[in-house]
A and B are shown apart, each in its own frame.
Chain A
Amino acid sequence: MRKATDIAVAAVAGLCALIAVGILVGLVSVIARRGGPALSWGFLTEQIRLVGASGGIFWNLVGTLILLATAFTACAPPAIAIALVERVWLQNERGRRALRTFLYTANGVPSIVFGLFGFILFVQWCGWGKSWLAGGLVLAMTMLPTVTVSLIERLKTIPPAYIQAAAALGLSRSKIIWAVLLPQSWGGLLTGSLLALARAAGETAPVMFTATIFAGATLPRGIKESPVLSLPYHIFILAQDSFDPEVGSKLWGAALVLLALVFVLSLIALPMRLKIHEEANL
């Protein structure tokens, strides 16, 4: 009886894990099977024609990359600053805990709320209209908690001896930051950013009101009224009206490209992230 229970529990747990992994495999294979035929060199280098039924997704890819680059540039300085405040400048435990609570709560804010915030602030009040900069800044806000937490975890793993040695040499705190902490922790910034960028690349809700249109945009010139195309918004619009079989195959192709982009970004970040995660839990 006891033995049977033992085996049954293990079997059920294993089955759950199998189903979870099976979902991923099934999902990827469905998208690959349906999207694969649409992929070609032209699909990546041509622009949209006939409302998505023909042509490719070149400007959508470019737009997504512009948004990601903007978001990364806007996100890195505050992320580094907050991590340094948490690790170096704040010395009392209560302040630190408040800061961490702030980060975790910010992490829980739904992306559509950030999108509407950007819509009010940048699109309406600043009068930018739909703009790549508005979208990039909104995406930066969604990324900030992930990047900061990853950087903080990384800073925690720097051996105290390094800092003590630097302090013994008479370096001031800000010198220690530039000479020891930042060079030792850029990996944390990188993994955190890649992971956050992978999430941001697939986000539709923050950019749908702030940055992207469906067709007719190329490289932005200036800030005002300069929207971009993007992959997730492209899929979002086509998915609502996907009866034309030609559109269908292009649609799955776009989904496959987006999925590949996201997976590549997260796979580069994963080994380091898992390592830190595992060590933090030992």
Chain B
Amino acid sequence: MTRTLSWFFSMLALAAMLLLLGIFAWQSIPVWQHDGTRYLTGVKWFFRSREFGALPMIYGSLVVSFIALIVAAPLGFGAAICTAEYLPRPARLAVKVLIELLAGVPSVVYGLLGILLLRDWIYDVFARFEPLNGDTLLTAGILLAVMVLPTLVTLGDDALRGVPAAQRRAARALGLTRAETLISVTLPQAARGFGSALLLGFGRTLGETIAVFLVVGRQDNNLPEHWLSVNKWLESGQTITSKLGSSETNIAYGDPLHWAAIAGLGLILLAMTGAAAFLGTSFGKRSDA
């Protein structure tokens, strides 16, 4: 009885996840038939003229996540080094509690702070580049950096503490300073864990919806001439998640092709975050932070 119930509910959960994947794959079929791979590489999204190109949104998602990780990684890993290597146990626990609390702040609250503070700040600081407003890809990226910080600190701290203490003692006994021990003994061994933290953080930032939605400006079809050019960073953009969260989702249902384009965005997002989560967990060790 207990055994049957356990398997029943487990299979139910598994079935729900498979159904989720199946629904997004199945519902997006019309757009793949209509556009093929041009759905992925198309640069124009005008649903009234039935043009569905997802590339600007893929670009937007990648750019905001990239900015977030570039800003948050040094800060987060620095903080992780401090908690794991320098702080005595009570202080360490106190910092970890605060970081866990930071992780719990709802994304809509971050979005609110982004709207009322960060947006104006970006507008003022980058005034000489003459942005049209403060709702830019850069704003979303910086807001995401704050949001992903706790993930990086917690996972980085785990990675460092996974290195056996005996190795540090051996290095210190050889006369290395703490910094030298850190750089030549601890960090190389924690590198995999740091990589895994970055991948998992990347998955988080790709999937974050509400905060990004509120500050990214939601301007369709914003794609630079060259992939590496940064001048679009100070313009409004659109990410996959901000598109999915918009009212267009409600409009689209009922029009099979338009809906398929929306479901297709969900599928792309699932593929990207799934890959990041899968690589991140098989690369490193744990991911419940």
Contact = CB atoms under 8 A, between A and B. Distances in A.
A262 B104 contact: yes
A27 B277 contact: no
Binding site secondary structure of chain B: helix
Given A6-B177, A13-B82, A108 B108 contact: no
A9 B179 contact: yes
Contact of B146 (A10, A13, A23, A240): A23
Interface in A98-145: 101-102, 104-114, 116-117, 119-121, 124, 141, 144-145
B120 interface: no
Interface residues of A, number: 92
Interface in B1-60: 1-3, 5-10, 12-14, 16-17, 19-20, 23-24, 27
A274 interface: yes
Interface in B37-87: 74-79, 81-83, 85-87
A110 B269 contact: yes
A149 B149 CA distance: 22
B125 to A, nearest CB: 17
Contact of B101 (A9, A119, A252, A263): A263
Contact of B78 (A12, A27, A31, A106): A12
Given A112-B207, A112-B245, A16 B75 contact: yes
Contacts of A266: 100-101, 104
A189 interface: no
A20 B149 contact: yes
Contacts, number: 264
A150 B55 CA distance: 38
A107 B289 CA distance: 10
Interface stretch (A39-47, A75-83, A155-163, A216-224): A75-83
Binding site secondary structure of chain A: helix
Interface string B87-113: 100000101111111101111110111
Contacts of A121: 19, 23
Contacts of A177: 2
A8 B179 contact: yes
Interface in A1-39: 2-3, 5-6, 8-10, 12-17, 19-21, 23-25, 27, 30-31
Q: Considering residues B82, B100, B288, which has the most beta carbons from chain A within 10 angstroms of its beta carbon?
A: B288
B79 A240 contact: no
Contacts of B82: 13-14, 16-17
Contacts of B263: 116, 120
Nearest to A239: B112
A121 B104 CA distance: 28
A89 interface: yes
A108 B274 contact: yes
Given A9-B182, A113-B270, 15 more contacts: A5-B177, A15-B78, A16-B76, A16-B81, A81-B5, A102-B17, A104-B277, A108-B203, A109-B20, A113-B269, A239-B111, A240-B214, A258-B106, A258-B109, A266-B101
26 contacts: A10-B179, A13-B79, A16-B81, A16-B82, A17-B82, A17-B87, A27-B113, A81-B8, A81-B9, A81-B10, A89-B3, A105-B278, A108-B273, A108-B277, A109-B17, A112-B244, A174-B1, A174-B2, A198-B104, A202-B104, A235-B108, A239-B115, A255-B109, A258-B109, A263-B101, A263-B104
